[in-house]
Structure 1
Amino acid sequence: MRYAYGYYKKAADYIKERIGEEVQFGLILGSSLGGLAEKIKDPVVIDYKEIPNFLLSTVESHAGKLIVGNLGEKRVICMSGRFHHYEGYEFERLAIPIRVFRLLGVETLILTNAAGAINRDMAPGDIMLINDHIKLQGQSPVRGQNIPEFGPRFFDVSDMYTRDLRDLAKRVGEKESIELKEGVYFYASGPQFETPAEIRAMRILGGDAVGMSTVTEAITAAHCGIKVLGISLISNMAAGITGDPVTTQEVNEVGEKSEEKVERLIKQIIKEI
């Protein structure tokens, strides 16, 4: 399915009417990490279903709301709940939120997710900065006719997860006494969790953590010239490592226990950008 520039502009214009001035900082919250949205002051809350040409979140733990307001001294636009290929969306449609963000003025984007640890040196509750990703499944979100208003047909992604932002996050982590790991995020389409054999293959290929989100957003942001900081909360050990089954209950429990730490980290990062 092809979308012209005006398709995205219609969504952005509706949001602009609701929020007024442009917003420089974007934030997308992953599974069990939606609590930070409640810390946004003087919020304008927009249900996804109200936005023309936008998508709807079908994941129960995702609020499905766009929130614009102040986080510390910075004005941010936050997606509390994101969209995934496993919900039935074509990869091209997953570009919609990020392109709308760009039209709203977003220059820096923080992506969070809950991920399973492939690297045995990581454990549930750890925070991993994404320095790269591996995506071997599905199409690119910017597949199809290029829209030059967003970016060039061919574009570099060697610094997709912006090094300067990772360095800033590390400095903030040291100040806040929050230990940060760093690694490669392996994209899996889901919704089933990965098999033990798949995890072994991912480890051989260089993956440190695995999840079902984030990558399409990062690719679209790179095309739009948006800087990206990717943060994974390690919510469980990936399949086959401990012998225990992977469950959404475990993911949610670890998210609840670690939420304050992740929120503090993000708030301080935004403050110092």
Structure 2
Amino acid sequence: MFHLDMPPTGPRSFTTQYKCYSVSMLPGNERKDVENGGKIILPPSALDQLTRLSIVYPMLFKLTNKKTNRITHCGVLEFVAEEDLVYLPYWMMQHLLLEEGDNLQVESVSLPVATFSRFQPQSPDFLDITNPKAVLENALRHFACLTTGDVVAIKYNSHIYELCVLETKPGSAVSIIECDMNVEFAPPVGYREPEHMQEKGEDMALDPEELMPQPAGFVAFRGEGNRLDGKKKKASMDKESVSPKVLYKRGIPDYDYKFGTLHFLRRSRPPPCKENPNAQDDFKAFSGEGQSLRTNKKK
């Protein structure tokens, strides 16, 4: 009786080594759609191998740099690269610490659908964008998946912004194709809260009596006494505490004042005496006598 080993019926993974290059090295016109996204370009032979395997769609891959043990995940855009070559966005080359022509392991994977992600801008300039979530949502359309720890680059208004993926749920690597994902932002690197004027309350409040001038005239009991036995008197109190302070009187504001007007207060005579308000003043208007410069010729 013979037993034959049956081939496995489950899905087989795709694992291949390629020499990696940045998208700028791709022959032909500049491919901005690849540079500003999270997808790679593989050779046609990779497509032939993937079609023979039971690969779960969408096609997602795990990229590993064996020298530095750096990993990330990505999708595939096209199968037009030369044989044994793979082209990556520049930000992905930087994250994996790869140089032109280094070996890169490409492995097919299946990732859970994302439900949450948290990003941290690498520069406070990202706060200048009017609607950051809308800009990020539009940029993520060129990505297939996210990996915790990645520093992705998005382009907006001819400016490139870098964002670090701090957290992803339900796993450290998730697929963002046709998903409903909640997005949060952490404070950018180097961001500082604006400094507001702190109200110190009583510490900043000044006693109005301290603003009053010191008394310049006679002050009672300001002198120093002498003892009959000739001994010096002990200073029990400071001079500042002995000298009386001028009482502060707050003025009455003009509640009927109209903005833009000036009032000139002139008093030609003193107010009437409070003791006898009915007393008549000796002042009479135009009661003076004038003098003429001409001499009187009449005799």
TM-score by length of 2: 0.23
TM-score by length of 1: 0.25
Structure that is richer in helix per residue? 1
